[in-house]
Copies of this chain bind each other. A is one copy, B any other.
């Protein structure tokens, strides 16, 4: 641990979602000392949002007794650019709009010059996993977040890959199904996230129910979420189990291509859908190995996040600040 870490042994982590913003104070061992939540979506302008955020931050700094001991602030946010500290074209955030917001600068100014680092949520999760979680000690791994969408954070040689423009790691929008692929929110077809996100799994369920007569407890539901499919699988519903097999198979095929790119030690899975690990693990592993070059077969680990889910978003974001 360097001098700076002893002088300023705490970091702040902020996870900005479309609806809520979670923030917390974290120590070097990854303990969340204080945390709180504010609404993201009650503001249409960023300035009053930053005011409320800075006030909430001040409150938890006081609560945790970490005044003057904060090394910096790490933020995970949609469409965040690590290089420029801006949030660009974040259409899912009420104050995001089509503009480029100098978020790091605004928050730094509002907090008396604290250092601020910003990246997208999947990159933050990768740094969190490397600092506190399943990827400790790993220099080369790929983080895949299986949530509403599929996000990714790629670590090469111990560093997150940001690319030329700061937006590297959009593996949810690589092509999983080339012909007649599903239409994605991004406008393309066949994107990995149209099959393997929580919404993708629900979509598979709805699609398959209309295409077959196979009995399933899912038939009795008005709307189907990935959680319903998971619950059905736990009850032994064969139809639901097949959905997870299919999802794992597609993930594994894509993972094999990701391995050919950066030869990671492991692929780390995180997010709501990753909770279904007992149904996803083996199909992913089998399908990945079947699609890998012989030199990698049987050698790439599939691991699931070890971070406590309620803390993970804050931890991931906070970990960024250690690098400031």
Q: How far is the CB of A282 from chain B (nearest CB, A)?
A: 20
Q: Which of A223-269 contact B (CB under 8 A)?
A: 253, 256-258, 260-265
Roughly how many angstroms separate A265 CA and B139 CA in the complex, as a whole number?
Answer: 24
A167 at the interface (CB under 8 A from B): yes
Taking residues whose C-beta sits less than 8 angstroms from the other chain, chain A's interface range is: 35 or more
A46 at the interface (CB under 8 A from B): no
- Given A156-B156, A156-B163, A164-B139, CB of A177 within 8 Å of CB of B178: yes
Roughly how many angstroms separate A100 CA and B163 CA in the complex, as a whole number?
Answer: 34
Roughly how many angstroms separate A135 CA and B71 CA in the complex, as a whole number?
Answer: 37
A162 at the interface (CB under 8 A from B): yes
Contact A175 B253 (CB under 8 A): yes
Residues on B with C-beta less than 8 A from A157 are 159, 161
Contact A171 B293 (CB under 8 A): no
Contacting A263 at CB < 8 Å: which of B162, B177, B178, B179?
B162
- Given A262-B154, A263-B168, CB of A294 within 8 Å of CB of B187: yes
- When C-beta atoms are compared, the residue in chain B nearest to A260 turns out to be B170
- Given A177-B178, A291-B175, CB of A261 within 8 Å of CB of B167: no
Roughly how many angstroms separate A107 CA and B177 CA in the complex, as a whole number?
Answer: 47
Roughly how many angstroms separate A133 CA and B1 CA in the complex, as a whole number?
Answer: 42
A219 at the interface (CB under 8 A from B): no
A24 at the interface (CB under 8 A from B): no
Roughly how many angstroms separate A156 CA and B178 CA in the complex, as a whole number?
Answer: 27
Roughly how many angstroms separate A171 CA and B174 CA in the complex, as a whole number?
Answer: 14
- Given A165-B263, A178-B177, CB of A293 within 8 Å of CB of B170: yes
Residues on B with C-beta less than 8 A from A136 are none
A59 at the interface (CB under 8 A from B): no
Residues on B with C-beta less than 8 A from A299 are 165
Residues on B with C-beta less than 8 A from A161 are 156-157, 261-263
Contacting A256 at CB < 8 Å: which of B175, B265, B294, B296?
B175
A211 at the interface (CB under 8 A from B): no
Roughly how many angstroms separate A253 CA and B265 CA in the complex, as a whole number?
Answer: 27
Residues on B with C-beta less than 8 A from A256 are 175
A221 at the interface (CB under 8 A from B): no
Contact A293 B253 (CB under 8 A): no
Q: How far is the CB of A81 from chain B (nearest CB, A)?
A: 10
Residues on B with C-beta less than 8 A from A265 are 164
Contacting A261 at CB < 8 Å: which of B164, B171, B179?
B171
Contact B163 A262 (CB under 8 A): yes
- When C-beta atoms are compared, the residue in chain B nearest to A163 turns out to be B263
Q: List 18 A-B contacts (CB under 8 A).
A: A138-B164, A154-B262, A156-B156, A156-B163, A165-B263, A165-B295, A165-B296, A165-B299, A167-B263, A168-B262, A169-B260, A170-B293, A174-B257, A175-B291, A179-B179, A186-B293, A188-B291, A188-B293
Given contacts A162-B263, A165-B299, 5 further A-B contacts (CB under 8 A): A164-B264, A164-B265, A166-B263, A179-B179, A258-B261
